[in-house]
Amino acid sequence: MPDITNPAVDQYMLALLPARDAVFKEMEAQALKRDVPIVGPAVGRVLYQYARLINARKVFELGSAIGYSTLWWAHAVGEGGEVFYTDGDLRKADEARGYFQQAGVASRIHVGVGDALEQLSAQSQEFDIIFNDVDKQYYPAVLDLAPGRLRRGGLFITDNALWSGRVTETNPKEETTRAIQEFNRRLYAMKDFFTTILPLRDGLAVAVKGS
């Protein structure tokens, strides 16, 4: 991944991070060993912080892999809160369940296996936060679903908004890059949302729904 921010600054910020607990450390080690995509600890802390800032109690996550970001959400919503995990890979979902149990937060997490967009579409309730991290070619489709399932004042947060810098390409060949470019343009143009892209790790788009 090309450096989006100065590498020395990245290393400085990472060095400041407090140590994570044993479950987070194990997940980070597995992600590194097996090349499993996770948001990482710096972004994880941002997710936790935003959830706490708006007192989020219900979070829906689109694309959860081994559940690393899910675990940050689960800690943030606290007892009585709910986090909806979604992933199409049963093995990853089973692995995630194990981590949730080890961390003592399994009762807060609904694990859904299958198409993440279909699972969100089936929801009739509103969420405090919707976190988007599905396969990148589906990002534009998420914009057709998420706004109507997010409460006023809620947050729509998306990972990989800068896509290793490839979003700067003109007429990109990759479908994924074109999809993220379209997503970013549309999200910034939506009148119901106030959006900012944070240049942290691979870019984190944070959009608040108007109150």
pLDDT digits (tens, 9 = 90+) for 134-189: 999 999 999 999 999 999 999 999 999 999 999 999 999 999 999 999 999 999 99
- Pairing relationship of beta strands 127-132 and 150-159 according to DSSP bridges: parallel
% of the chain at pLDDT higher than 90: 96
Q: For position 1, what pLDDT does the model report?
A: 53
% of the chain at pLDDT higher than 70: 99
Reading the block at residue 71, the tokens are 């675990």
pLDDT-derived band at 6 (thresholds 50, 70, 90) equals confident
* Average pLDDT in the chain: 96
Residue range 7-209, CATH number:
3.40.50.150
pLDDT digits (tens, 9 = 90+) for 60-101: 999 999 999 999 999 999 999 999 999 999 999 999 999 999
Distances (CA, A) of 34 to 22, 27, 136, 171: 18, 10, 20, 32
Q: Domain residue spans in the chain?
A: 7-209
Please check whether residue 204 is in contact with residue 158, taking contact to mean a CB–CB distance below 8 angstroms.
yes
Reading the block at residue 25, the tokens are 């450390």
